[in-house]
């Protein structure tokens, strides 16, 4: 069987060597065999697996989610879970798009009003009162409950 060394896999898959090692530690890639000289030797299908991982990440899946999906696939169990995960991911993306649209709208208003400063805007119709927002955020953070149950 033909094997690939670390640099060859990294180059063919378009990742760096540290990424390969990280994926090994995370369990996304199986521990490769070693040559007599101690070099990692990967099976050729490692490149395809790395391409799958990268594609899943581009689709918005986290490495934990990718690991779960790969594990399910390795056990050869059909999984309706993939469809549900895709539906859930679409909902996450839609929420992010809505957030980004709101941010874009606010920034467009700032540009249109010709605001010149976050802290000392002199525009009479400044759409975003930055000082007020900042103090509101600060007081919210100060009074927020911490995960350990204490307050700030």
Going along the chain from its start, the domains and CATH numbers come out as 4-74 (1.10.1660.10), 113-152 (no CATH)
Mean per-residue pLDDT of the chain: 82
Average of per-residue pLDDT across 89-115:
89
Q: What is the CA radius of gyration of the chain?
A: 24
Whether residue 109 is predicted with pLDDT greater than 90 in this model: the reply is no
- Pairwise CA distance, residues 100 & 106, whole Å: 10
Whether residue 75 is predicted with pLDDT greater than 60 in this model: the reply is yes
pLDDT-based confidence at residue 152 (cuts at 50, 70, 90): very low
CA 135 to chain centre: 30
| CB contact set of 134 (below 8 Å; sequence gap of 6+) | none
Model-level pTM? 0.64
Average of per-residue pLDDT across 61-85:
80
- Pairwise CA distance, residues 92 & 134, whole Å: 27
| CB contact set of 70 (below 8 Å; sequence gap of 6+) | 28, 49, 52, 53
Average of per-residue pLDDT across 123-142:
58
Asked if residue 113 lies in contact with residue 126, where contact means CB atoms within 8 angstroms, the answer is yes
């Amino acid at each position: 069987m033909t094997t690939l060394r670390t640099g060859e896999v990294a180059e063919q898959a378009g990742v760096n060597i540290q990424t390969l090692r990280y994926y090994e530690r995370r369990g996304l890639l199986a521990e490769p065999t070693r040559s007599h000289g101690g070099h990692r030797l990967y099976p050729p299908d490692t490149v395809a697996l790395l391409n799958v991982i990268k594609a899943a990440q581009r689709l918005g899946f986290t490495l934990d989610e990718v690991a779960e999906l790969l594990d399910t696939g390795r056990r050869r169990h059909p999984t309706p879970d993939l469809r549900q995960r895709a539906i859930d991911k679409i909902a996450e993306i839609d929420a992010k798009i809505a957030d980004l649209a709101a941010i874009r709208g606010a920034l467009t208003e700032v540009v249109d009003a010709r605001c010149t400063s976050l802290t000392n805007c002199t525009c009479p119709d400044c759409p975003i009162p930055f000082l007020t927002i900042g103090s509101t955020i600060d007081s919210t953070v100060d009074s927020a409950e911490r995960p350990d149950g204490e307050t700030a």
